């Protein structure tokens, strides 16, 4: 009886907090960008092979390679020839292309225009601008026991806290002044030219789950509290989904992450497959960067980028069905940071992915340079089928056993050994 009474009190307290913490839907701005974007395309022009490595101050803008003027002239010629208007452009040396945004000034089918552009020898390729959205619910849910208990977070932090690891959070804007994120943000960049930089709910929640400060007497503890976050705003929040992005904004942000020495890229978003983004993700994997993507529960394959080969796809632990090969992590009623020194409960695979990005940072501190396939194997090797996953039916992935995953990286027992059956015959730690 006392236990039930305590749960009722906790629920009432949580609802009071959430009444203040939940972001107001009517405060979100409409999205005037959507109408013009429907007639926009991306046109890729080849860049010369890079002969430099930018330093940490590199902002992802133009490099002085001596060919910028020539590429812009070609872009203007293409625009004049095909009835287009050059709107914007961004060099992406990570994959050797300069990406031009052009708007169709006519009224014909965009697919026909793309086919014509694809046959022009001056064009590497042309494509539509795809739309993406964050994969989380904006509504607070009933409080439950925190995910830190399921993963025995305090115990994990005795072995690793993510020190020395940088996680790129490609998302909506992050509140760098939030008390749980003060000092945790390595840098912020805004790649959404149509909207001024802002502190937004989805990005702030994802960043907090990954790297919120531990032991500061406030809010939550991040999965990797000593990791640093590179907050790359490629999405914006409107009255629609939790956050929206597109091929161009995401491409700029991923290219920036590739050029600035990150260990992990977290993408708590989903949408259609995209040639530009696929090329950038392949370049990231070739550089040994771990990619984490949220699995869209509405799509059998989890959607893109979660379905891209090499990306660690993550579903919520209570999701009815998970895509083949996806991992499960806490994603329901998760305490998270919100803009304006607030906290609230969030749910969705967006936040499950943030858990796995943080756990990957713990592994990379223990074993720097771990290749993405090996890191995913460490995570998947500790999967257990918890009751929530059993409801999904045979063959569904189990929730990650974080203790077993960290024990593999550390080469020794981390949590209570009897509860971690997979640690009975742990290998020696891999050479650093």
pLDDT tens, 407-422? 989 988 888 765 444 4
Alpha helix (H) residue ranges in 212-325 = 247-258, 275-286
The β-bridge partners of 345 are: 335
Ramachandran bin of 161, using left for φ above 0, alpha for ψ from -120 to 50, beta for the remaining angles: alpha
The β-bridge partners of 166 are: 228
Euclidean distance between CA atoms 399 and 200, whole angstroms: 29
Q: What is the DSSP string of 206-255?
A: HHHHHH--SSSSSS---SSTTSEEEEEE-EE--SSSS-EEEHHHHHHHHH
List of domains in the chain: 36-129 (3.30.70), 133-423 (3.40.50.200)
293 in helix, strand or coil? strand
Euclidean distance between CA atoms 218 and 202, whole angstroms: 20
Euclidean distance between CA atoms 386 and 378, whole angstroms: 18
Q: Note whether 313 and 290 are within 8 A (CB).
A: no
The single residue listed with the structure tokens 């225009």 is 113
* Mean pLDDT split into 10-residue runs, the chain, 432 residues: 41 41 40 64 88 45 68 96 95 96 88 94 96 68 47 90 98 96 97 93 96 89 95 89 90 97 97 97 98 96 97 91 90 91 92 96 97 93 51 50 90 70 45 48
365 sits in which H/E element: helix 349-366
Q: Note whether 240 and 31 are within 8 A (CB).
A: yes
303 in helix, strand or coil? coil
For the four alpha carbons of 146, 151, 152 and 155, in that order, the dihedral sign comes to negative
Summarize pLDDT for 250-263 with one digit per residue, the tens.
999 999 999 999 99
- pTM of structure: 0.83
Output DSSP code: residue 388: H
Summarize pLDDT for 102-136 with one digit per residue, the tens.
999 887 888 999 999 999 999 999 999 999 988 87
Q: Note whether 334 and 150 are within 8 A (CB).
A: no
From residue 57, give the alpha-carbon distance in Å to each of 189, 345, 367: 12, 36, 27
Task: Give the residue numbers marked as catalytic.
Answer: 171, 202, 350
- The token pair at 187 is 């840098």
269 in helix, strand or coil? strand
Q: How many residues does the chain have?
A: 432
Euclidean distance between CA atoms 102 and 79, whole angstroms: 7
What is the pLDDT, as a whole number, of residue 245?
95
Euclidean distance between CA atoms 166 and 287, whole angstroms: 15
Q: At CB < 8 A and 24+ separation, what contacts does 62-67 make?
A: 62/91, 63/91, 63/93
What is the pLDDT, as a whole number, of residue 398?
58
Task: Work out whether strand 269-270 and strand 131-134 pair parallel, antiparallel, or are unpaired.
Answer: antiparallel
Closest CA to 331 of 151, 132, 133: 151
Summarize pLDDT for 204-230 with one digit per residue, the tens.
999 999 999 988 888 888 999 999 999
Burial class (CB in 10 A: 0-12, 13-18, 19+), 2: exposed
What is the pLDDT, as a whole number, of residue 241?
62
- The token pair at 426 is 């742990």
What is the pLDDT, as a whole number, of residue 13?
46
């Amino acid at each position: 009886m006392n236990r039930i009474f305590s749960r009722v009190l906790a629920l009432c307290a949580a609802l009071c907090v959430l009444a203040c913490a939940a972001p107001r839907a009517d405060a979100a701005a409409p999205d005037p960008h959507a109408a013009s974007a429907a007639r926009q395309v991306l046109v890729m022009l080849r860049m010369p092979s890079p002969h430099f490595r930018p330093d940490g101050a590199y902002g992802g803008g133009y490099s002085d390679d001596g060919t910028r003027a020539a590429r812009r002239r070609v872009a203007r010629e293409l625009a004049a020839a095909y009835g287009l208007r050059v709107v914007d452009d961004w060099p992406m040396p990570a994959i050797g292309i300069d990406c031009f945004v052009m708007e169709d000034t006519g009224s014909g089918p965009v697919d026909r225009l793309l086919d014509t552009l694809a046959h022009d020898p001056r064009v590497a390729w042309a494509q539509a601008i795809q739309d993406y959205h964050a994969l989380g619910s904006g509504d607070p849910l009933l409080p439950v026991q925190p995910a830190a208990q399921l993963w025995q977070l305090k115990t994990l932090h005795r072995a690793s806290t993510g020190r020395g690891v940088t996680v790129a959070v490609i998302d909506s804007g992050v509140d760098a002044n939030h008390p749980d994120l003060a000092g945790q943000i390595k840098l912020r960049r805004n790649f959404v030219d149509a909207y001024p930089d802002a502190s937004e709910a989805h990005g702030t929640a994802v960043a907090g789950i990954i790297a919120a400060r531990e032991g500061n007497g406030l809010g939550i503890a991040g999965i990797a509290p000593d990791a640093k976050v590179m907050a790359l705003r490629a999405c914006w929040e409107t009255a629609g989904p939790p956050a929206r992005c597109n091929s161009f904004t995401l491409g700029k942000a991923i290219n920036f992450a590739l050029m600035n020495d990150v260990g992990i890229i977290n993408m708590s978003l989903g949408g259609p497959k995209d040639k530009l983004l696929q090329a950038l993700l392949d370049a990231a994997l070739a550089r040994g960067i771990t990619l984490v993507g949220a699995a869209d529960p509405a799509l059998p394959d989890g959607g893109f980028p979660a379905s891209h080969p090499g990306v660690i796809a993550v579903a919520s632990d209570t999701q009815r069905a998970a895509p083949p090969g996806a991992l499960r992590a806490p994603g329901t009623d998760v305490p998270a940071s919100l803009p304006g020194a607030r906290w609230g409960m969030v749910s969705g695979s967006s936040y499950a992915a943030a858990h796995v990005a943080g756990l990957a940072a713990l592994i990379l501190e223990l074993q720097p340079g771990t290749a993405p396939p090996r890191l995913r194997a460490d995570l998947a090797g500790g999967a257990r089928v918890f009751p929530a996953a059993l409801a999904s039916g045979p063959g569904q992935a189990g929730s990650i056993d974080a203790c077993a995953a960290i024990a593999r990286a550390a080469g020794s027992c981390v949590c209570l050994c009897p509860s971690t059956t997979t640690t009975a015959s742990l290998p020696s730690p891999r050479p650093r």
